Amino acid sequence: MVIMTTTEAAPAPGQPAGLTRIPPALNAAALEHYAATYGRSVLELDRALAAAPGPDGLIDLTHGDTRAFLPPAAAAADFDDAVTENTEAYTAYRGSAALRAGLAPRLAGLLGRPVDPGAELIITPGTQGGLFAALSALVSPGDVVALPDPEYFMSERILAYLGATAHRLPVSSDSRGLLSIASDALDTAAAAGARLLVLSHPNNPTGGVYDPAAARALAGFVTGHDMLAVVDQLYCRLIFDGADYVHLSAQPGMAERTVTLAGPSKTESMSGYRVGAAVGPAPVIDAMERVLSLAALRTAGYGQQVLRHWMDGDAAWLADRTAAHQALRDELVGRLRAIPGVTVAPPAGSSYVFPDVSGAPGGGPDDHAVAVALKAAGVLVSPGYQFGPAGRGRFRINFSQDAGRLALACDRIEAVLRG
């Protein structure tokens, strides 16, 4: 199943023979099967976009701007204290015991389930580090894993790296941005042998929140088939319009079979510290710690301590940050909808929108080509292919930006899409 051609090259004369020999697992992560639609693997598409020309003053909308939305002041203070105290340079691989003890009640409050700080919690190098550790702890070669379409761009790559196959679940969105997955799609996944469900919630890249009934149906699907679940809740604190957000691990029978990933990289703009947390059943947290010990020993000892005051009495701060993002969302969705041929569901959470520009005069179904054209016009976006087959003709924008720069980016996007 591993196609070696795209990333293998014959060594140059005199070059060591082993230099261009890519291990099969790493090669699989290139996602060669996207060549059937796009003519190139996902790795090649990414490299082509990175190499495509862009002007000075390129506006990067692939991630949030941590200068437009600053981290809480406590983060830097907690880090400095950790350096000064200098007692936690070497922690348990799963993270500082004192930190976990302080954090567990706040995570329990967030997730609506008990969290044992010793057995059920691990500090990870960002939420990506938690995702890699969780999947590496749970997935064996040949496994089939249920994955929404679209879904976070790294999930399918990691599954392919681990020798597993992603069984995609089409996601539907209603007019309020509330998501659901059809029950026959779930049944098909179960029949295909899926014993693990991996999903982001809110969904990355759409920002959609699962409708409460749909979320409960997902939990019922997992428990009913004796499956496990990995739920990336990186954006679960940034929810708009008071939408009803259902925590999957708090549903009946789910706590003992769900790994929940969380972290301060997005809502709190603390991505530069590269810290996250995962809550799950003790045997899985044990296995995740074994993975993390191999990959990096531990999350940076000083860096872990920026979680000391994460989610600690910050309701007013969170309300302000949410309102600011909701205003940006409304402005952006309005701008996008004014472009002929563009459709977009308003995200119920996160700082992402995922418009469909396939019908725009300057858009079309080839989202890679659209992203290259947008880059030439001064805007960098995340093209739809990165998130799965459902990304065809779409791109993702992270609107956690300065309002003026986002407006300028919208001008450029509109100019391209109007053709």
Encoding tokens for residue 58? 């390129």
**Residue 259 interacts with a copy of itself (CB under 8 A)?**
no
Q: Least distance (Å) from a copy of itself to the CB of residue 309?
A: 15
**Residue 221 interacts with a copy of itself (CB under 8 A)?**
no
The stretch near a copy of itself (CB under 8 A) out of 131-139, 342-350, 366-374, 402-410 is 131-139
Contact flags string 27-56 toward a copy of itself, x per CB under 8 A = --x-------------x-------------
Residues 6 or more apart whose Cβ sits within 8 Å of residue 18: none
- The one among 39, 170, 283, 334 contacting a copy of itself by CB under 8 A: 283
Q: Are 350 and 235 in contact (CB under 8 A)?
A: yes
Looking at the DSSP bridge assignments, the partners of residue 165 are 144
CA distance 307 to 106: 11
**Residue 79 interacts with a copy of itself (CB under 8 A)?**
yes
**Residue 31 burial (CB count, 10 A):** 24
The stretch near a copy of itself (CB under 8 A) out of 144-152, 197-205, 268-276, 408-416 is 268-276
- The one among 38, 245, 273, 385 contacting a copy of itself by CB under 8 A: 273
- Residues counted in the chain: 419
Question: At CA 186, angle to CA 180 and CA 187, rounded to 5?
Answer: 145
Which residue's CB is nearer to a copy of itself, number 130 or number 393? 130
Q: Least distance (Å) from a copy of itself to the CB of residue 242?
A: 30
Encoding tokens for residue 231? 């739920």
Which residue's CB is nearer to a copy of itself, number 30 or number 345? 30
Residues 6 or more apart whose Cβ sits within 8 Å of residue 122: 94, 95, 130, 133, 277, 278, 285, 288, 289, 292
Residues 140-169 that bind a copy of itself (CB under 8 A): 140-141, 154, 157-158, 161-162
Q: Least distance (Å) from a copy of itself to the CB of residue 304?
A: 9
**Residue 125 interacts with a copy of itself (CB under 8 A)?**
yes
- The one among 31, 139, 372, 380 contacting a copy of itself by CB under 8 A: 139
Q: Is 15 exposed, middle or buried (0-12, 13-18, 19+ CB in 10 A)?
A: exposed
- The one among 87, 112, 212, 327 contacting a copy of itself by CB under 8 A: 87
**Residue 284 interacts with a copy of itself (CB under 8 A)?**
yes
CA distance 131 to 147: 13
